[in-house]
Structure 1
Amino acid sequence: MFNFNVITGCALVYAMLLCLPIQAQGLDQPSDILLQQIAAARNKGDMSLADELAARLNQYAHQSNDLNAIADANYQLARNAMERNRYQQAQDHLNAAISAYQDLDNQNGLANAYRQLGLTYRYQANYPQALEYIYLAMQIYQQMDNKSAISSTHNSIGLVLEKLGQYEAAAQAHQKALEIHYELGDQQGIASALYNLGDLRRVMGDRELALVYFQDALKIDSVTGNLKNLAYSHHKIGYLYMVLGDFDNARLHINQALSGFKQISAPRDTDWALSSLAELEMKLGNFDLARDIIDGVILRAQTQQYNSLLADAYYVSAELAYLQDNSQTAADQIDMGLQQARANHERQKEAEFEALRVKVHVKNEAYKQAFESLQREKHISEEILNTKRIGNIANLQAQTEFIRRAQQIELLKKETALQKANIEQQNLSRNLWILAVIASFLLLFLLYSRRVQIKLNKRLGEQVEQRTQELKQKNIELQIAYQEMETISLTDQLTGIHNRRYLENQIDADLEQSLRLHQDWLAGKTDKPVHADIVVFMIDMDRFKSINDIHGHVAGDAVLIQLTQRLAQVFRQSDYLTRWGGEEFVAVARFINRDDAPVLAQRVVDHVAQTPFQLPNGAEYSTSCSVGYACYPLYADNSIAPKWNTLISIADACLYMVKSAGRNGWVGIDKVQESTVPLEVMTPEKILNWQNDKKVVLKRSFK
């Protein structure tokens, strides 16, 4: 009872302070306290209070001439404007904040402002401009090693890339964000990453899994209490229920989203939910109501330049006209929607409009035009999501499931603890109330309470034991999933050899050991090392595209598998043999003498060219390969240790020289004679110039 009174009193005092005019507070309240209050009000969706507090911070900053506070005030005013979808106003405040942060050399503030400015452009469908500012923010966060901000920025990058139809890159960005948020234990960040991954699955057509992700995000949002995030999750869940045909649940969640967006005064997000409501009414056959709603959304989106929402609204309007057998209106809406989607660079939305146009043409029996639209739709879809990208996204999916299951176990633990605490609290309150009201029956009550408590403890013990067993089983499943994920993520599915990720995880230790052996020798600590060099070979099939074009992708896959077998005959089991991508392979000969590199390169060329490849249809196909390599350590004096990416780039430049010279050969850099040679800018032309100047030792062999 005492604690309750103390808390209540503190809350009343705090509320009175907020209500006092700013002059009464003397303008001496620290700006960081106001910043915390603004963020808390915005998180709860109380935008009126958030605006009032931001205005106070702005007034305090200018009266005290505190430049940091002025920059922070502009940033907070921008964040509030973004919550209300006032993007131009937000951009004005952010540009003012950026200018101030630059003058103050406040890198963290500058990065935050860059990221938010990028997000304003994202909401206006100016995706190239959005990426530019978000990447600027990422660069600063990485320099500061701010993991929380890095993970949030990965989410922002993924959102823009998804709109551009770059699903593989978007999945990688969201997965990275999820991994970092999970490592940091950031519940709100985990919810955002799951939400974004769910939206990606929705766009790719996996609606059931997307619904699971959105529901997981909603559970976490319900705990953190962020009203905007809750509204977003409700909206996506409602939309998916609608697509899956569960219209009652769809209406429930869409209305909850509408209520949340209205509470935080976000007109663009409100219209976004209204467009889903219009689509729901359309599916229920309420065409007139759907038309009234969507026409209003289109008008406001045009006026406010909500360009991405406008493309979505045109689609709903076109589909509604199609269902009402108004083909001309449907065609007109599709044309306007396609024009808007192209202006937005939204390739997936273009494909959706082309698919809808096919239905309109078929209804009008214009089959030629329908076929042409179908071809355009298939071309865009293949461009966005080909087989290779689907495979890469599937690999990322295994990692997502691993973290999601672990998060579910954590939530289960917290729910168990919370339930037990609530039961104990309820028992305590009940006992105190009965003691106060029925004092005369104290002894009887205590005996009865004791009996109830024994039964309750027994039941709780059984529940805890049951949950413990469930957690043990889930941990076993989690370990199995983790092992499966490791195998999937480090192995190329076609050839069975390791992939690029595996090599990048292993190579740094070998490079460090090789460099240390050479440095110890140069320092006089050891004899000249033997078998201490690393040689990186970049191997590429010549004219591989013609195999796929003439004989099909199945034949191409068969050739790649046979190439893997031949490369395994050249390199040792202790060497690294990986598929780098497509028809490119990278082999790393570990701890050899670099004098053996030309011999290995020639053996690779001979093994490919001398024996025809067997195709699945029984035919034979003869081809060749090109090889570029780089030796490590590269500099003759070992004064500089180039990074792995630089080493790969050098081998790739050598490979390009072979391709330019007619293919079917090899080129390699044995060593760099002068430490002034900048490896990071090495190109085939510069390699030849440096060789002529005797700055590099180049070896080569062409057919």
Structure 2
Amino acid sequence: MLKGLLTKVLVFGVICGLSSAHGAQERTASLAGQLASTEQHLGSVWLFIIAWLLCFIIFLLRRIKSLKHEVRRLIDTISKQQKKLTNLTQINSHTRLYKFRYGEQRINDEVAYCLRQNASDQGPIKDEVILFYIILDKSEQLREGYGKHRYMLCQQQFATLLQASFRHTDIISHWQDEEFVVLTRGLKRQQACHLAQRLQHGIQDYSFDCDKGPSLHLTCSQAYIPFPLSLPAEEFDWQQLLLLAKSLAISISYQQAGHWFGLTTATLPTGLSQYQQVLTAISEKQLDYDTSLSTIATIDILLD
């Protein structure tokens, strides 16, 4: 009796164990299926994320390229506007040369640099600029005889001739009406005569076109002075030196039109005011100079 009961219990335990094992297998299979489904779902999500990121990167690259083009366009526009503004403030619209104010500013800057370079009073001049004062001769007769329009055409052509005669680094300013000022750097005072001669020969060979009228042959008168004229450099005022160059150019224009005169001296007598000092030294032939004037005696006439 007891033996039979134990047998039944054992059989029931085995059956339950088998049932539990079968259930566990089913649960395991179910979990495996769920995991596979989850992995498949996650794989799809990652693929979607990667695809979205790729699309976003492509969009960003295209947008960056578009923005670069836009930035370049804006830079070009700003550069053009700045150039127009520069032309309005610095360039004479008629002759396409620098305006008086800009030329004056550049001379101030270059003179300040020269003063720093020549701070010591000892030794030779270390740095200098040459100031040319140039006058288109007989401008009043030209304007009255041929009219303002043809006179302005001659001015434009003379401005072009100035640009061709001087170096591209030189500052050429339309000072006033028929008067022009050129600032040169990197040129020794003994070499300045070559530029004066080049302009003189250039205008001699040039025929000015007067718009359906007869061609004209004009001349210009020049005077140039270096800054500083001598040491100590701070004793010199470039405006006074330019005024002296103007006086010389006007005298040449009235009395010996078509010629040039330039100072090359580096020493001055003492005891006189600057402007009168140089005038007196020139008249007494105490200074070195270069000139296209035929006789030295003509210098006395220039200072009358």
Q: TM-score range by the shorter chain?
A: 0.5 to 0.7
Q: CA deviation at 1:543?
A: 0.8
Please give the per-residue CA displacement for 1:137-169, whole angstroms capped at 9, x wherever unaligned: xxxxxxxxxxxxxxxxxxxxxxxxxxxxxxxxx
Please give the per-residue CA displacement for 1:651-695, whole angstroms capped at 9, x wherever unaligned: 11221331243211011222351243422446xxx72x4235454
Q: Is the 8 A contact 2:204 2:218 kept in 1?
A: yes
Alignment of 1:516 with 2:116, yes or no, is yes
Aligned to 1:554: 149
AA paired with 2:93? Answer: Q
Aligned to 2:243: 649
Change (3 A) 1:691 1:555: same
Aligned to 2:204: 609
Aligned to 2:214: 619
Aligned to 1:564: 159
Q: CA deviation at 1:517?
A: 2.9
Unaligned runs of 5+ in 2: 1-79, 295-304
Alignment of 1:658 with 2:252, yes or no, is yes
Change (3 A) 1:639 1:649: same
Q: Is the 8 A contact 1:602 1:665 kept in 2?
A: no
AA paired with 1:489? Answer: T
Alignment of 1:638 with 2:229, yes or no, is no
- Counterpart secondary structure, 1:585: strand
Alignment of 1:506 with 2:106, yes or no, is yes
Aligned to 1:696: 287
Partners of 1:556 and 1:503 in 2: how far apart? 23
AA paired with 2:257? Answer: R
Partners of 1:528 and 1:632 in 2: how far apart? 10
- Max Rg structure: 2
Output aligned runs, 1:108-119, within 5 Å: none
Aligned to 2:74: none
Partners of 1:622 and 1:670 in 2: how far apart? 30
Partners of 2:137 and 2:176 in 1: how far apart? 14
- Which structure features the higher share of helix residues? 1
Partners of 2:289 and 2:271 in 1: how far apart? 17
Output aligned runs, 1:517-536, within 5 Å: 517-520=117-120, 523=122, 529=126, 532-536=127-131
AA paired with 1:664? Answer: G
Aligned to 2:173: 578
AA paired with 1:517? Answer: Q
Change (3 A) 1:592 1:641: farther
Change (3 A) 1:528 1:630: closer
Q: Is the 8 A contact 2:165 2:195 kept in 1?
A: yes
Alignment of 1:487 with 2:104, yes or no, is no
- Which structure features the higher share of strand residues? 2
Higher relative contact order, chain-length normalized (CA < 8 Å, sep 6+): 2
**TM-score when normalising by structure 2:** 0.63
Q: CA deviation at 1:618?
A: 4.7
Change (3 A) 1:552 1:692: closer
- Counterpart secondary structure, 1:629: strand
Q: CA deviation at 1:546?
A: 2.2
Q: Is the 8 A contact 2:227 2:238 kept in 1?
A: no
AA paired with 1:492? Answer: N
Identity %: 20
- Counterpart secondary structure, 2:153: helix
Partners of 1:518 and 1:598 in 2: how far apart? 23
Partners of 1:669 and 1:496 in 2: how far apart? 29
Partners of 2:117 and 2:140 in 1: how far apart? 42
Q: Is the 8 A contact 2:97 2:172 kept in 1?
A: yes
Please give the per-residue CA displacement for 1:616-672, whole angstroms capped at 9, x wherever unaligned: 11520011110011111112x325442232121011122133124321101122235
Output aligned runs, 1:418-497, within 5 Å: 486-497=86-97
